[in-house]
Amino acid sequence: MSTRPFGSLLPGGWRFKSLRQGLILTLVVPLAVLLILGAYLDYRLARKTTDDAYDESLADVVYDLEAHVRADRAALTFDLAEEAEAMLRSIAPDERYFSIRDETGRLFVGDAGLPFRKAGKMGKIIFLDIVYSGTKVRAAEYWIDHGDSRIGITVAETTKRRQRSSNRILMAMLLQNATVIAATVLAIFFGTRHGLSPLTELEREIAARSADDLSEIEVVAPPAELRPLLVRLNQLFGLLREATEVQQRFIADAAHQLRTPLAGLQTQLDLAAGEGLFHAHPARLASIDEATARLGHLLNQLLAYAKAESIGERTHAFEKVALEHLVEKSATEFIDAALAKNLDLGFDIAPVDALGSEWLLQEALANLIDNAIRYTPDNGIVTVRCGAVDGQPFLEVEDSGPGIPEEQLPLVVERFYRMPGTPGNGCGLGLAIVSEIAALHGASLKLSRNSMGGLCVRLVLATDASESRA
């Protein structure tokens, strides 16, 4: 089966850590581009606005100078008083320059070094950006017919004021645009958070389920975009339920079908042994008998495992179980097995109640006791306990057996796993069954080495219904 990154489904093939991040960035990035473009356009508009305003002021100065030009047949005169000229030049922090020339370039009045062009279009002011005395200036050039002569009036000024005005306008525009963009980003952030809340609710719904809960997901009035996903998830859960049920039925049916011929085989072995048919080969009979017993144990474990899963799927509410009675009942069934190996089977019981399935808890405890007796050497110790620690009820079985290495502890709860070199006729399902029952109860299963070097298994249960099923 081929796979591809989910991020490739998003625009441009981008990959994001979360859908929310992808949506926000997909919307914010274009906004950032628009902000940059807007800033550029604002800059151009601010420049044009200030240039138009200051160019108009510059044109007024040109017209004022024109009004002071007098021409007769004798000569061209300029009647601007010194005080008026000083006021014309005084525009702090800028500096203003002017010149009046004829079409040959001859200066009548003003600043001699001020650049000029030859006579252009008459009666129209032309605005130019020029350099005067090493400084960039804005100039207005105006050519008119004055009698028989063509007169050019040039007025120029430095650009400090217009630059400051342009910056103020630009900053006002940028502040306004930035405020709008910021508000839009916040709206996108909270909007996507609210819009994706159904996905968050779906995630919490799935996270709250136990591994065996394959019931359909029910969401009241889901968004249209979420409905196809819910349909597909529920279809997948349905397929998984069917597969699980088929597996459980197969295990249970196979175990049931095998128990009958196995019981017949055991009966025939007992009859053969009673008739002395294996007198000459006692070792062979013992081997066959051991294999038959192991097979019987495996079938019983398989049935218990299948039944635990089946009951777990149907269990939605547990009953109060008195653990001390459960311990007494379960341990009593193993007295003969303990005596056969001269084991000290002891009890340490404190009255305590827990919520759960009595049958399942009894099955779990029986598997723990059976394991302890099976792997503890002769003359050893097996202790069964129940009680409460910090308000949490528990069942515990410990033994003086060989124990389990630290690195093997996570593995022994897996189905059909047996440590290399493990003696006995176990099938590797005992602790797996206990682990399954613990999961069905929302309980914790803790395996550790005790002070005797053996194994200690503690099943910590819930005290209320809210804790009993996660």
Q: Are residues 42 and 184 in the same domain?
A: yes
Q: Are residues 281 and 132 in the same domain?
A: no
Give per-residue pLDDT as tens, 83-92: 777 777 878 8
* Cα separation, 188 vs 182, whole angstroms: 10
Mean predicted confidence (pLDDT) in 409-413: 77
Q: Indicate if the pLDDT at residue 459 is higher than 70.
A: yes
Burial class (CB in 10 A: 0-12, 13-18, 19+), 73: exposed
Q: Are residues 216 and 172 in the same domain?
A: no
* 384 or 70, greater pLDDT: 384
Lowest-confidence range among 217-221, 271-275, 363-367?
Answer: 271-275
AA letter at 32: A
Mean predicted confidence (pLDDT) in 407-433: 69
Q: Are residues 94 and 176 in the same domain?
A: yes
Q: Are residues 322 and 370 in the same domain?
A: yes
Q: Are residues 42 and 185 in the same domain?
A: yes
Q: Are 297 and 373 in contact (CB under 8 A)?
A: no
Band of residue 48 on the pLDDT scale cut at 50, 70, 90: confident
Share of the chain above pLDDT 70, in %: 73
Q: Indicate if the pLDDT at residue 381 is higher than 90.
A: yes
Per-residue exposure over 448-467, b if at least 16 CB sit within 10 Å of its own CB, e if not = eebebebbbbbbbbbbeeee
Q: Are residues 326 and 412 in the same domain?
A: yes
Lowest-confidence range among 180-189, 356-365, 390-399, 413-422?
Answer: 413-422
CATH of the domain at 210: 1.10.287.130
Share of the chain above pLDDT 90, in %: 10
Domain boundary among 195, 226, 242: 195
- Is the alpha carbon torsion for 237, 242, 244, 245 positive or negative? positive
- The predicted structure's pLDDT at residue 43: 81
Q: Are residues 322 and 432 in the same domain?
A: yes
Q: Are residues 178 and 36 in the same domain?
A: yes
* 284 or 32, greater pLDDT: 32
- The predicted structure's pLDDT at residue 189: 78
Domain boundary among 284, 314, 344: 314
Band of residue 468 on the pLDDT scale cut at 50, 70, 90: very low
The total of structural domains in the chain comes to 3
Q: Are residues 151 and 216 in the same domain?
A: no
Give per-residue pLDDT as tens, 293-345: 666 666 666 666 666 555 554 444 578 889 999 998 888 888 988 999 999 99
Q: Are residues 351 and 369 in the same domain?
A: yes
Q: Are residues 230 and 166 in the same domain?
A: no
Q: Indicate if the pLDDT at residue 458 is higher than 50.
A: yes
Structural domain of residue 210, as residue ranges?
Answer: 204-314
The tokens of 32 are what?
């950032």
- The predicted structure's pLDDT at residue 343: 92
* 34 or 140, greater pLDDT: 140
Band of residue 379 on the pLDDT scale cut at 50, 70, 90: very high
Give per-residue pLDDT as tens, 107-166: 888 888 888 777 667 778 889 888 888 889 999 999 888 767 788 889 999 888 888 888
CATH of the domain at 449: 3.30.565.10
Please provide the average confidence, as pLDDT, over all residues in the chain.
77
Domain boundary among 178, 195, 212: 195
The tokens of 229 are what?
């996903």
* Cα separation, 112 vs 130, whole angstroms: 15
